[in-house]
């Protein structure tokens, strides 16, 4: 159930993305500044607008069309949001949320249409009148989208649920990931972790663990789903052949020396890995960034619902050349999800078949995405490596004009 296509115009940033058609796996390639990351941010913006994350700003000054395929049919959502100068300031300022904004500062949805299989099911006109299957609804907030406002309507719900499954990878910034290594006792003490663990006894519930600290996810998998944990360990050991085991346990059990009972470490969960030739557990913050990020990717992919749309910006960040191809393979293997990745790295580009490449080009503020395989100058049979072929394309070298 993928995103089929989307386009977006962002008045605040003065940026326009022409309609891009997506496959089940997409590697966005192109020069720095061509707009790859902005494409992912646009999708995040659309997701936020449709699902109304708490404290989030609506898509200020944006106008988009997105077409998605769900089990219930093909949905297309068109929306136009007004520009709010105050919101624009806060959006680009230090305050990421809408907390400091007055209600009157918020941008409003000026126009919306939602189609199912080509038939209009919801509309909102410039006077704020919303119609569901032709029938006018009571007056609803114009700062929220029809998809979020009517998310309980069976007709609209599939679109809402689809947008909820657009997931920006937590591993995008491994330093942030590192913060998830320890569970602070005051946030989730072990007894609390045990309480949460008791709730998650069914594999179907795993996607709901998203957003939980890595450590807690690991603990629940280890204790409740040993078969899943075993599979993850196998995959991890394939990538890092020196790693023989990983485990989430109480710090007292993982350290080679005793700690005083009254320290803040006492009773805290910690992640440890075992390596060949090293007798003690290597704990949390001492695990290398690349090893940690790989682990975050593995856990994340395992716990995402099937049919997720996974966005990963600069896939290679924090990953060493010893694990990049293997992590790329793991992504390719998750065929139940749609992926939209960006990368500059030869190790990634060489390991993802060219038929999944999308070249991002920019002329002024207008961004166009091209299928590399469809470019007449792209030689699919050349002996040169994929990366060399890509970077030698005129369209690649002149991607920004």
Partner 1 sequence: MNLYFLVEGRQTEKKVYQSWISHVFSDLKKADVIGDVRTNNYRLFSIEGNTDRLDNIEKAISEINWHNKMAAEQGKEPFDHLFVCLDAEEVDWPIRVTQVEHLLSNQVSPTQSHAIVHNCCIETWFLGNREMMKRNPQSENLRVWKTFYDVSVGCPESMACYPGFRVKAEFHLEYLKEMLRERNLNYSKKLPRAVQDENYLRALVNRYETTGHIQSFGRLVTVWRSLRGNI
State the minimum distance, in angstroms, from the CB of residue 384 to partner 1.
Answer: 5
State the minimum distance, in angstroms, from the CB of residue 234 to partner 1.
Answer: 9
User: Which residue's CB is nearer to partner 1, number 328 or number 342?
Assistant: 328
Binding-site ranges for partner 1 (CB under 8 A): 24-25, 238, 241, 321, 324-326, 329, 332-333, 335, 345-347, 350, 353, 356, 380-381, 383-385, 387-388
User: Which residue's CB is nearer to partner 1, number 243 or number 369?
Assistant: 243
Look at the alpha carbons of 36, 38, 40, 46 in this order and tell me if their dihedral is positive or negative. negative
DSSP label at residue 295: H
User: Per residue in 313-351, is it b (16+ CB within 10 Å) or e — as a string?
Assistant: bbbbbbbeeebbebbbebbeebeebbbbbbbbbbbbbbb
Tokens standing for residue 308: 């997720």
Report the chain's C-alpha Rg in angstroms.
Answer: 23
State the minimum distance, in angstroms, from the CB of residue 392 to partner 1.
Answer: 11
State the minimum distance, in angstroms, from the CB of residue 385 to partner 1.
Answer: 5
State the minimum distance, in angstroms, from the CB of residue 338 to partner 1.
Answer: 11
User: Which residue's CB is nearer to partner 1, number 158 or number 320?
Assistant: 320
State the minimum distance, in angstroms, from the CB of residue 22 to partner 1.
Answer: 14
User: Which residue's CB is nearer to partner 1, number 311 or number 349?
Assistant: 349
- Residues 380 and 354 sit within 8 Å (Cβ to Cβ): yes
- Residues 163 and 75 sit within 8 Å (Cβ to Cβ): no
User: Which residue's CB is nearer to partner 1, number 103 or number 383?
Assistant: 383
State the minimum distance, in angstroms, from the CB of residue 115 to partner 1.
Answer: 30
Residue carrying structure tokens 């790859």: 36
Half-sphere exposure for 31 (CA within 13 Å, toward CB): 17
User: Which residue's CB is nearer to partner 1, number 16 or number 297?
Assistant: 297
Strand pairing class (309-312; 166-168)? parallel
State the minimum distance, in angstroms, from the CB of residue 140 to partner 1.
Answer: 42
User: Which residue's CB is nearer to partner 1, number 341 or number 367?
Assistant: 341
Q: Residue 45: which H helix or E strand, with range?
A: helix 36-51
User: Which residue's CB is nearer to partner 1, number 25 or number 64?
Assistant: 25
How far, CA to CA in Å, does 60 sit from each of 13, 86, 273, 290, 326?
Answer: 10, 10, 45, 36, 39
- Residues 304 and 168 sit within 8 Å (Cβ to Cβ): no
Task: Kindly report the length of the chain.
Answer: 401
CB atoms within 10 A of CB 85: 12
- Residues 67 and 115 sit within 8 Å (Cβ to Cβ): no
């Amino acid at each position: 159930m993928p995103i089929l296509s989307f386009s977006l115009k962002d008045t605040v940033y003065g940026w326009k993305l022409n309609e891009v058609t997506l496959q089940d796996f997409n590697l966005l390639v192109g020069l720095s500044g061509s707009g790859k990351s902005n494409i992912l941010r646009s999708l995040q913006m659309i997701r936020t607008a449709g699902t109304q994350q708490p404290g989030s700003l609506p898509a200020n000054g944006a106008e988009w069309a997105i077409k998605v395929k769900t089990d219930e049919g093909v949905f297309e959502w068109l929306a136009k949001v007004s520009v709010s100068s105050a919101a624009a300031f806060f959006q680009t300022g230090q305050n990421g949320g809408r907390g400091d904004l007055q209600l009157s500062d918020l941008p409003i949805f000026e126009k919306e249409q939602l189609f199912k299989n080509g038939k209009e099911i919801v509309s909102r006109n410039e006077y704020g009148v919303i119609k569901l299957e032709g029938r006018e609804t009571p007056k609803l907030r114009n700062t929220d989208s029809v998809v979020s406002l009517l998310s309980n309507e069976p007709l609209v719900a599939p679109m809402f649920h689809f947008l909820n499954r657009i997931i920006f990878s937590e591993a995008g910034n491994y330093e942030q990931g590192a913060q998830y290594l320890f569970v602070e006792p005051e946030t989730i003490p072990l007894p609390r972790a045990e309480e949460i663990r008791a709730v998650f006894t069914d594999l179907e519930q795993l996607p709901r663990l998203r957003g939980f600290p890595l450590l807690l996810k690991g603990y629940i998998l280890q204790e409740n789903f040993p078969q899943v944990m075993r599979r993850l360990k196998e995959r991890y050991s394939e990538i890092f052949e020196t790693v023989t085991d990983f485990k989430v346990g109480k710090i007292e059990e993982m350290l080679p020396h005793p700690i005083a009972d009254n320290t803040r470490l006492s009773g805290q969960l910690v992640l440890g890995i075992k390596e060949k030739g090293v007798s003690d557990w290597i704990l949390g913050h001492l695990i290398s960034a690349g090893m940690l990020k790989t682990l975050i990717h593995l856990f994340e992919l395992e716990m995402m619902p099937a049919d997720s749309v996974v966005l990963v910006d600069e896939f290679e960040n924090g990953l060493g050349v010893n694990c990049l191809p293997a992590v790329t393979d793991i992504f390719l293997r998750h065929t139940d999800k749609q992926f939209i990745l960006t990368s500059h790295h030869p190790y990634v580009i060489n390991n993802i078949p060219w038929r999944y490449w999308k070249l991002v080009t920019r002329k002024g503020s207008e961004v166009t995405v091209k299928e590399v395989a469809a470019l007449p100058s792209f030689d699919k049979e050349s002996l040169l490596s994929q990366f060399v072929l890509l970077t030698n394309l005129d369209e690649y070298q002149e991607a920004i004009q």
